[in-house]
């Protein structure tokens, strides 16, 4: 069962299984309700039939009793000659006739009962005539003649015939009731069986749904626990990284500073005692120390940008780009490049983090176009689907697309430090910041034909 | 050791080379106010409170404290906290002079009432320039409460 259920549930997603179980249960409930409704209606119908039969039987009984009454009234008249007996007989006869009319109505849908009723009807008419003959005989020929006629048994025989027909009608009516009740019982049994089967289906479906749901919940619980574990691990490693970068920033810089400072002091105090080569050595020592200082600073900046929380809001990207441009140009000493800043769409980003992106991309554009006669830098952006795409374009040294894959790695450089200074961390910072925003960054270039760097950010309207 | 009562600048710095560089930078900038160099925060507190090897010596002429953050025994932030908690030293100008550019250190220092926070650059020429400027500012330009 469990294996079967497992197989069955693996076909469906949890949403499908729960929805199917719910809808299935709902449909089956509706069917069961309407079947129950039908059963109740049918039960009421059978009750009506039972009532009907009882009414018919009672009316038959009443007819029989009235007929007996009429007969004894006639007998009394024959003996006493009391005219009140005639009135008694007439009342009994009208009772019989009204009962017969009732019976006719009650059995209107039954051919055989109608036929029996017709026989009863004619025997009643015959009896009334015979009674009239007895009455007339009493009046004209006296008690003796009437007594003879009555005792001859003819009226009694007629009564038997009449009673027999009434009994037949009763039997027929009872038989009919039995057949009807039997048919109803069969159909009700069938209904009950159907309802039972449907309810079993509901229980099974809901049970399967529940089984699947419980399994899914258990799975999710496990995943949540795993995630929590990973989060704690990540937090720990983040803390370690933080203390690591803290000691890097403090402990590594101190000896470097000693190297550079004492080399400077050596130069200041003992330059005169050294020859040209000795002074060059001091210069190399100092340059090395300074370069390492810059590398440490950049590496720390790179590490910090990966750990700082992102506060992404809708920002005017162009304002940030222009601020970065100004900052870069203030520090720039060579030929001022021609600038072209286009309109840019707003984006959802962290302005402080995005500033590092602009400073590095614009700084690179200025740096790598500084050696040509008429440097030109273009900045712009546009909407592409759900993203905002921005670019920084220069007409400088460019790079070979074969090495494009190395562009964004830490300490990766496509130009020598003598050609263009730098630590190789700038584009790694750009990549890290843009990735953390859920965007992409890429570069297009040809050697000596400038470079164009693109990056995407989520559109402001898509926050 | 100089005459302790005459000390105007207290330099708390565990690195011998850094302390030498700072002192040379001040001397080169012609800031020759008497300076006392201590190697950790405990010694700095001893001097400030006139106890231990400084027992009975007052620091009445002290005008500036230059504090490194990471020091053995008692660190710079602890020294700063105690200076600000001592009524007699509350208004004493304290400058953090450190290698750490960690934002958390900067924030904590200012929260404890530091007067200035200087990150020591690696490049020696800039160290000399900045220490000289710092000396000028706090010992010549700045007017402390009398």
At a CB cut-off of 8 Å and minimum separation 6, what does B3 contact? B34
Return the closest-CA partner of residue A320 out of A294, A286, A362, A354: A354
Residue A298 pLDDT > 70: yes
Write down the pLDDT at residue A361. Answer: 94
Domain ranges of chain A: 2-216, 311-462
B26 touches chain A (CB under 8 A): no
Residue B140 pLDDT > 60: yes
Q: Write the pLDDT tens digit of every residue in A193-230.
A: 888 888 888 888 788 888 888 888 999 999 999 999 99
Contact A296 B122 (CB under 8 A): yes
| Best mutation target, A239, A242, A250, to test chain B (most B CBs within 10 A) | A250
CATH class of the domain defined by A311-462: alpha beta
- Yes or no: say if A159 and A71 are a contact pair by the CB < 8 Å rule: yes
**Where does the pLDDT of residue A11 fall: very low under 50, low under 70, confident under 90, or very high at 90 and above?**
low
Question: How far A290 CA lies from chain B's nearest CA (Å)?
Answer: 6
Residue A1 pLDDT > 50: no
For A290, name the nearest residue in chain B, comparing CA atoms only.
B123
Rounded CA separation A393/A396 (Å): 9
Write down the pLDDT at residue A331. Answer: 85
Q: Name the 3-class secondary structure at A384.
A: strand
- Yes or no: say if A22 and A12 are a contact pair by the CB < 8 Å rule: no
| Best mutation target, A251, A252, A257, to test chain B (most B CBs within 10 A) | A257
Rounded CA separation B99/B101 (Å): 6
Within 10 A of B47 (CB to CB), how many other CB atoms are there?
Answer: 22
Write down the pLDDT at residue A446. Answer: 87
Residue A462 pLDDT > 60: no
- Yes or no: say if A194 and A33 are a contact pair by the CB < 8 Å rule: no
For B101, name the nearest residue in chain A, comparing CA atoms only.
A249
Choice among A137-151, B15-29, B75-89 with the minimum mean pLDDT: A137-151
Rounded CA separation A408/A429 (Å): 8
**Where does the pLDDT of residue A12 fall: very low under 50, low under 70, confident under 90, or very high at 90 and above?**
low
Contact A260 B101 (CB under 8 A): no
**Which of B17, B70, B100 has the CB atom closest to A261's CB atom?**
B17
Rounded CA separation A453/A361 (Å): 8
Rounded CA separation A378/A337 (Å): 10
| Best mutation target, A261, A263, A269, A282, to test chain B (most B CBs within 10 A) | A261
Write down the pLDDT at residue B25. Answer: 93
User: How many A-B residue pairs are in contact by the CB < 8 A criterion?
Assistant: 63
Return the closest-CA partner of residue B130 out of A261, A271, A296, A249: A261
Choice among A213-217, A325-329, A349-353, A419-423 with the minimum mean pLDDT: A419-423
Q: Name the 3-class secondary structure at A37.
A: helix
- Sign of the CA dihedral with A363 first, then A369, A374, and A380 last: negative
Range A345-370 average pLDDT: 91
Rounded CA separation B42/B72 (Å): 8
What are the strands of the beta sheet with B35-38, ordered from one edge? Answer: B35-38, B9-12, B64-67, B94-98, B116-119
ipTM exceeds 0.85 = no
Residue A463 pLDDT > 50: no
Write down the pLDDT at residue A456. Answer: 93
At a CB cut-off of 8 Å and minimum separation 6, what does A394 contact? A337, A364, A365, A366, A368, A369, A375, A376, A377, A378, A450, A451, A452
Exposed e or buried b for every residue in A2-23, given b needs 16+ CB within 10 A?
Answer: eeeeeeebeebebeebbeebee
Provide, as residue numbers in chain B, all residues whose Cβ is less than 8 Å from the Cβ of A292: 122
**Which of B18, B24, B69 has the CB atom closest to A257's CB atom?**
B18
Rounded CA separation B122/A262 (Å): 12
- Sign of the CA dihedral with A10 first, then A16, A19, and A25 last: negative
Choice among A125-139, A155-169, B16-30, B80-94 with the minimum mean pLDDT: A155-169
Range A133-160 average pLDDT: 76
pTM of the model: 0.54
Can A2-216 and A311-462 be said to share one CATH topology? Answer: no
Choice among A32-41, A300-309, B109-118 with the minimum mean pLDDT: A300-309
Residue A358 pLDDT > 90: yes
Contact B124 A253 (CB under 8 A): no
What is the pairing mode between strands A376-384 and A387-394?
Answer: antiparallel
Range A359-365 average pLDDT: 93
Residue A163 pLDDT > 90: no
**Where does the pLDDT of residue A155 fall: very low under 50, low under 70, confident under 90, or very high at 90 and above?**
low
Write down the pLDDT at residue B34. Answer: 92
Domains of chain B: 4-141 (3.40.50.2300)
Q: Name the 3-class secondary structure at A407.
A: coil
CATH number of A2-216: 1.20.120.1730
Range A89-109 average pLDDT: 86
- Yes or no: say if A163 and A64 are a contact pair by the CB < 8 Å rule: yes
């Amino acid at each position: 069962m469990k294996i079967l259920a497992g197989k069955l549930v693996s076909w469906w997603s949890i949403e499908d299984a729960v929805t199917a179980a719910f809808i299935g249960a709902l449909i089956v409930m509706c069917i069961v309700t309407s079947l129950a409704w039908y059963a109740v209606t049918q039960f009421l119908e059978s009750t009506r039939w039972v009532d009907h039969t009882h009414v018919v039987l009672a009316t038959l009984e009443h007819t029989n009793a009235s007929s007996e009454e009429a007969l004894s009234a006639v007998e009394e008249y024959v003996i006493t000659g009391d005219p009140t007996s005639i009135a008694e007989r007439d009342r009994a006869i009208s009772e019989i006739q009204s009962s017969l009319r009732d019976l006719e109505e009650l059995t209107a849908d039954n051919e055989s009962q109608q036929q029996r009723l017709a026989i009863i009807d004619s025997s009643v008419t015959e009896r009334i005539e015979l009674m009239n003959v007895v009455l007339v005989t009493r009046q004209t020929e006296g008690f003796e003649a009437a007594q003879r006629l009555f005792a001859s048994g003819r009226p009694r025989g007629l009564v038997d015939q009449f009673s027999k027909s009434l009994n037949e009608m009763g039997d027929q009516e009872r038989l009919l009731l039995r057949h009807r009740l039997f048919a109803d019982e069969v159909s009700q049994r069938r209904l009950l069986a159907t309802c039972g089967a449907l309810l079993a289906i509901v229980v099974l479906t809901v049970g399967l749904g529940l089984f699947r749901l419980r399994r899914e919940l258990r799975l999710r619980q496990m995943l949540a626990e795993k995630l929590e574990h990973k989060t704690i691990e990540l937090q720990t490693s983040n803390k370690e990284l933080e203390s690591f970068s803290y000691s890097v920033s403090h402990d590594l810089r101190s000896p470097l500073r000693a190297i550079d400072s004492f080399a400077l002091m050596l130069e200041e105090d003992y330059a005169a005692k050294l020859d040209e080569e000795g002074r060059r050595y001091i210069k190399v020592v100092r340059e090395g120390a300074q370069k390492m200082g810059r590398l440490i600073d950049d590496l720390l900046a790179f590490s910090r940008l990966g750990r700082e929380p992102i506060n992404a809001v809708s920002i005017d990207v162009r304002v940030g780009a222009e601020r970065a441009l100004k900052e870069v140009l203030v520090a720039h000493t060579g030929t001022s490049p021609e600038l072209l800043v286009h309109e840019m769409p707003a984006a959802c980003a962290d302005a402080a983090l995005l500033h590092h992106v602009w400073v590095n991309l614009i700084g690179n554009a200025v740096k790598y176009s500084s050696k040509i006669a008429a440097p030109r830098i273009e900045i712009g952006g546009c909407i592409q689907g759900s993203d905002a795409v921005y670019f920084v374009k220069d007409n400088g040294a460019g790079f070979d697309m074969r090495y494009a894959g190395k562009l964004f790695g830490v300490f990766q450089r496509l130009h020598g430090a003598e050609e263009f200074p730098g630590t190789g961390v700038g584009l790694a910072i750009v990549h890290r910041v843009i990735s953390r925003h859920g965007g992409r960054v890429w570069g297009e270039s040809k050697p000596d034909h400038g470079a164009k760097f693109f990056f995407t950010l989520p559109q402001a309207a898509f926050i | 050791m100089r005459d302790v009562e005459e000390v105007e600048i207290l330099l708390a710095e565990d690195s011998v080379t850094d302390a030498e560089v700072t002192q040379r930078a001040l001397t080169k900038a012609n800031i020759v106010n008497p300076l006392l160099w201590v190697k950790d925060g405990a010694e700095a507190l001893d001097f400030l409170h006139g106890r231990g090897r400084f027992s009975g010596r007052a620091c009445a002429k002290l005008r500036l404290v230059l504090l490194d953050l990471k020091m053995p025994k008692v660190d710079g932030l602890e020294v700063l906290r105690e200076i600000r908690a001592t009524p007699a030293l509350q208004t004493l100008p304290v400058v953090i002079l450190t290698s750490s550019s960690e934002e958390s250190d900067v924030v904590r220092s200012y929260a404890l009432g530091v007067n200035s926070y200087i990150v020591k650059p690696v490049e020696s020429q800039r160290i000399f320039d900045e220490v000289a400027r710092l000396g000028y500012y706090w010992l010549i330009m700045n007017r402390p409460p009398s």
